[in-house]
């Protein structure tokens, strides 16, 4: 099968032919139809992601497809089931073998492209805002990087939860996408985020995917008793958090990494995905996919992420698939 393979950290990943092993106990084999790209795929290539496997390995963190074989002791799945899998790696290939505990069945009305774009972005947003921050109706939610894969879903989920949403992004085009997802107020990258947010009454919850100076500005614009969620550091600058300011303003900082929840508390992930898939079926969520590319153009997809030229998600499709 073809796979986008990382041979060593000193080499560039490339499309190669490798064998697909049979599923072992507790695993399912899936014919992959689509794979969603994530910023973490770029970090893995530099060995700077917290869950980077030892090479050689195949990139691709989340997939959708059809079950083609079952390992021993697998329950709840049958051959031909349409599934999505949060696999961590191994998704950018025509077939994959994955832990069945990380797979979910997807609704018949959900396309494979939507399913491949769904789990990490929406799962992170829902776990962060619902489980961690306990976002309440009429609270003000500030989302940085609001047109990217993680930020845009937070805008959408926050709006569904009844919050007033402030979206920060770079440029009118990206801000328009955030507005279409439900943002009530927009902040361009060249505006003073702290001053604008404070003029709007401050933020009760901050969902930050950028870090660096934006985190500092958002931190200073958070209301007393507010909750801040560091989701990622797309700027490359991991901020330092002044504990004395947390004390004075009674702030709470909650780190969110759903890969960690999948290992320690998978029931939280499963509950979130159940709610999110119900919202999808009801038409309350609409994944935004800016680019759908074939497997042979996966390097182009990675570059779209690296250059910040994509919005929402980039999805890679395999040579033969059907929605």
Dump pLDDT digits (tens) for 57-106.
Answer: 999 999 999 999 999 999 999 999 999 999 999 999 999 999 999 999 99
Q: Is residue 28 within a helix (H) or strand (E), and if so which, with residue range?
A: strand 27-36
Average pLDDT value for residue range 151-159: 98
Q: Sorting pLDDT into bands at 50, 70 and 90, what band is 235?
A: confident
Mean pLDDT, residues 280-296 taken together: 97
Q: In the chain, what percentage of residues exceed pLDDT 90?
A: 93
**The predicted structure's pLDDT at residue 322:** 43
pTM of the model: 0.93
Are 113 and 317 in contact, with CB atoms under 8 Å apart?
yes
In the chain, what are the domains?
Answer: 2-120+278-317 (3.90.180.10), 133-255 (3.40.50.720)
Give residue 224's pLDDT: 98
Is the Cα torsion angle 26, 32, 34, 35 positive or negative in sign? Answer: positive
pLDDT surpassing 90 at residue 287? yes
pLDDT, tens only, 179-234? 999 999 999 999 999 999 999 999 999 999 999 999 999 999 999 999 999 999 98
Cβ contact 18:5 at 8 Å: yes
Q: Which token pair is 185?
A: 């107020």
Alpha carbons 133 and 151: distance in angstroms, whole number = 15
Mean pLDDT in residue range 138-160: 97
Strands, E assignment, 60-111: 62-70, 82-86, 95-99, 103-105
What is the pairing mode between strands 57-58 and 27-36? Answer: unpaired
Mean of pLDDT over the chain = 95
The pLDDT value recorded for residue 279 is: 97
pLDDT at 323 over 70: no
In terms of C-beta density within 10 A (0-12 exposed, 13-18 middle, 19 or more buried), how is residue 27 classed?
Answer: buried
In this predicted structure, the answer to whether residue 321 has a pLDDT above a threshold of 60 is: no
């Amino acid at each position: 099968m073809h796979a986008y393979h990382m041979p060593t950290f000193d080499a560039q990943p490339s499309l190669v032919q490798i064998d697909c092993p049979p599923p072992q106990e507790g695993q399912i084999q899936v014919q992959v139809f689509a794979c969603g790209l994530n910023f973490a795929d770029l970090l893995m290539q530099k060995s700077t992601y917290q869950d980077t496997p030892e090479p050689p390995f195949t990139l691709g963190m989340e997939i959708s497809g059809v079950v083609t074989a079952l390992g021993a002791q697998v329950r709840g799945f049958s051959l031909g089931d349409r599934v999505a899998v949060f696999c961590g790696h191994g998704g950018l290939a025509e077939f994959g073998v994955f832990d069945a505990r990380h797979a979910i069945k997807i609704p018949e009305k959900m396309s494979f492209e939507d399913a491949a774009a769904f789990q990490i972005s929406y799962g992170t947003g829902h776990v962060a805002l619902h489980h961690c921050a306990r976002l309440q109706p009429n609270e003000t939610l500030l989302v940085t990087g609001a047109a990217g894969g993680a930020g845009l879903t937070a805008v959408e989920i926050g709006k569904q939860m009844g919050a007033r949403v402030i979206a920060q992004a770079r440029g009118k085009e990206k801000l328009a996408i955030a507005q279409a997802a439900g943002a009530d107020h927009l902040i361009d990258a060249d505006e003073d985020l702290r001053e604008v947010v404070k003029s709007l009454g401050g933020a009760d919850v901050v969902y930050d995917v950028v870090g660096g100076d934006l985190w500092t500005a958002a931190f200073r614009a958070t209301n007393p008793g507010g909750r801040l969620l560091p989701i990622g550091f797309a700027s490359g600058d991991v901020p330092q958090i002044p504990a004395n300011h947390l004390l004075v303003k009674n702030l709470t900082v909650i780190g969110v990494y759903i890969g960690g929840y999948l290992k320690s508390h998978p029931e939280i992930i499963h509950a979130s995905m159940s709610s999110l898939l119900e919202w999808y079926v009801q038409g309350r969520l609409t994944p935004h996919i800016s680019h759908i590319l074939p497997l042979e153009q996966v390097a182009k997809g990675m570059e779209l992420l690296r250059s910040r030229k994509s919005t929402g998600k980039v999805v890679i499709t395999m040579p033969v698939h059907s929605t």
